Amino acid sequence: MSLMSLNHSYLIKNAHTILTGLAGNAARCSFSDIRIQAGKITELGQLTAQPNEQMIDAQDCVIYPAWVNTHHHLFQSLLKGEPQGMNQNLTSWLASTPYRFRGAFDENTFRVAVRIGLIELLRSGCATVADHHYLYWPKMPFDGAAILFDEAEKLGMRFVLCRGGATLTRGLESELPQALRSEKFEDYIMDIERLVQQYHQSGSDAFRKIVMAPTSTLHSTTAPQLRESAKIARQFGIRMHSHLSETVDYLDAAKAKFGMTPVQFCAEQDWIGSDVWFAHLVKLLPEEIQLLGQSQTGIAHCPQSNARLGSGIADLVALEQAGMTISIGVDGAGSNEAADMLSETHAAWLLQRARKGMLATPQYQGGQFEGGADAASIEDVIRWGTAGGAKILGLDQVGTIEVGQQADLVVYQLDDPRYFGLHDLAIGPVASAGRAHIKAMFVAGKMVMENDQIPDLDMMELAWQAKQAVKLLQQRSMDMAKIA
């Protein structure tokens, strides 16, 4: 790494616009300069350089808070565009892609997948990743948590492990392949305790956190186990996360199994509240929205995966108005071939408008159709993808550009033709999409990218590793199919 990584004081000057991650009129900063000292933002204004301070000229650049990704499946970084799952809905896709390949991963292929996913996210301006890691089965041959934290630390990223898994026994377990067998609930809880003791940091500026995260509240565990996991999570002081209501199948399953809606079932097991967030929440009834809002439960909105699998579009505007905290998640690359935060926020911006437009009653007033073009602003999307995600993860010192906050920010240099001609340069990274050139990126005041480069990264070597890993996974999945 260059000398600047050793310099803990920076002055970023002459930014075209600074978007703060805050709401309303505070969404855009009136100043152009930022001072970073000892990992924090210490001044905003028209500033003069101090001795021993490194200056970064941000002329014609826009600055955002670094993105906070609240739902991912990093192991799927080697499952992009997998043919058998390309044109499937959620249930069929799960069987065709992630479940079919899960037993094919070993320590090396898993590490390559994690590295690819984290690098892809970092190169979009993402500093914090919450990975819903559910690649667990009895007698696991490798420690996925150790690999995840190790790879994130190498890149200087904040990492939240949402420890997934299934503890619901499904019939004749002994006849299932080892990788599809359920863990015992007591083993799952023991591992949560181990992970909390080894990795969890409770502070609002933490680099490592652990979350209780059974893969599905309806299908991966029993009601008593779910209730007990909530109790234990709160005893440990950790948050809770899972998938919920991604499709109408969740509504049907909850009614058939429990005689209530999915959200009502979660509420009965103490699985709602400000320390809980769910991925997706596409198919919700009005009473469920009210319950989630009143309890201040959060959402990880995953627009591209939801669209790719044909699941639908979550109504973020209604959810936020009800009182929920909104965040953005990428989901797994197996159902999202562009697994980065710029693509995701671009999709979030467009699809909220499309959703409102589809649901609007065709009325004409003064010759104008009442559509959905005002459903969500760029500033809303940035707030959801930064401050919203930080709030959900309990990282209150992250996600906004304000004096006293952690210096997690990204300086985008919009020098690609896709950004030329913009009347408002500030909206470029989200509105125009693409992968904006990162002039500089900081996490806790440490520069983790400079001139669009990650230090010590051999991209050609990573590409070769990915190709070899894909070939190996394909061969192993075919071998396992023959045995089955």
Three-state DSSP at 103 gives helix
> Computed over its alpha carbons, how large is the radius of gyration of the chain?
22
CATH number reported for the structural domain that contains residue 58 in this entry: 2.30.40.10
CATH number reported for the structural domain that contains residue 319 in this entry: 3.20.20.140
Burial group, residue 484, by CB count within 10 angstroms (0-12, 13-18, 19+): exposed
Report yes or no: 207 and 159 within 8 Å, Cβ to Cβ: yes
Same domain, 60 and 33: yes
Provide mean pLDDT across the span 128-152.
Answer: 96
Report yes or no: 341 and 334 within 8 Å, Cβ to Cβ: no
DSSP readout, 118-144? Answer: HHHHHTTTEEEEEEEE----TT-SS-H
Q: What is the pLDDT of residues 448-471, one digit of tens each?
A: 999 999 999 999 999 999 999 999
The Cα–Cα gap between 306 and 303 comes to 5
Q: What is the pLDDT of residues 361-404, one digit of tens each?
A: 555 445 455 568 888 999 999 999 999 999 999 999 999 999 99
Q: What is the pLDDT of residues 439-454, one digit of tens each?
A: 999 999 999 999 999 9
Same domain, 226 and 181: yes
**pLDDT given for residue 169 in this prediction:** 75
The domain boundary residue, chosen from 358, 373, 393: 393
Provide mean pLDDT across the span 81-109.
Answer: 94
Q: Mean pLDDT of all residues in the chain?
A: 93
pLDDT band at 484 (very low <50, low <70, confident <90, very high): low
Please state the separation of Cα 9 from the chain's center in Å. Answer: 29
In a domain, 140, yes or no: yes
Three-state DSSP at 443 gives strand
Three-state DSSP at 271 gives coil
Same domain, 276 and 147: yes
**pLDDT given for residue 172 in this prediction:** 60
Provide mean pLDDT across the span 428-449.
Answer: 97
**pLDDT given for residue 2 in this prediction:** 37
Q: In the chain, how many domains are there?
A: 2
Give phi and psi for 368, each to the nearest 5: -110, 130
Residue 219 has pLDDT above 60, yes or no: yes
The Cα–Cα gap between 222 and 231 comes to 14
**pLDDT given for residue 123 in this prediction:** 98
Same domain, 60 and 71: no
Q: How many CB atoms lie within 10 A of CB 180?
A: 15
- Residue 386 tokens read as 């930064």
Domain span at residue 173 reads: 67-393
Provide mean pLDDT across the span 72-84.
Answer: 97
In a domain, 467, yes or no: no
- Residue 429 tokens read as 């990274």
What's the predicted TM-score (pTM) here? 0.95
**pLDDT given for residue 397 in this prediction:** 98
Same domain, 281 and 414: no
Report yes or no: 414 and 436 within 8 Å, Cβ to Cβ: yes
In terms of phi and psi (left: phi > 0; alpha: psi -120 to 50; beta: otherwise), the region of 412 is beta
pLDDT band at 6 (very low <50, low <70, confident <90, very high): very low
**pLDDT given for residue 1 in this prediction:** 34
Nearest to residue 330, comparing CAs of 299, 297, 305, 298? 305
Q: List Cα–Cα distances, 89 to 306, 312, 419, 465, in angstroms.
A: 10, 11, 35, 30
Same domain, 385 and 432: no
Same domain, 277 and 408: no
In terms of phi and psi (left: phi > 0; alpha: psi -120 to 50; beta: otherwise), the region of 108 is alpha
Same domain, 79 and 181: yes
Residue 5 has pLDDT above 50, yes or no: no
Same domain, 59 and 79: no
Q: How many CB atoms lie within 10 A of CB 431?
A: 16
Report yes or no: 44 and 86 within 8 Å, Cβ to Cβ: no
In a domain, 470, yes or no: no
Same domain, 328 and 405: no
Same domain, 285 and 418: no
Cα Dmax for the chain = 70
Q: Which amino acid is at 477?
A: S
Same domain, 174 and 300: yes
In a domain, 478, yes or no: no
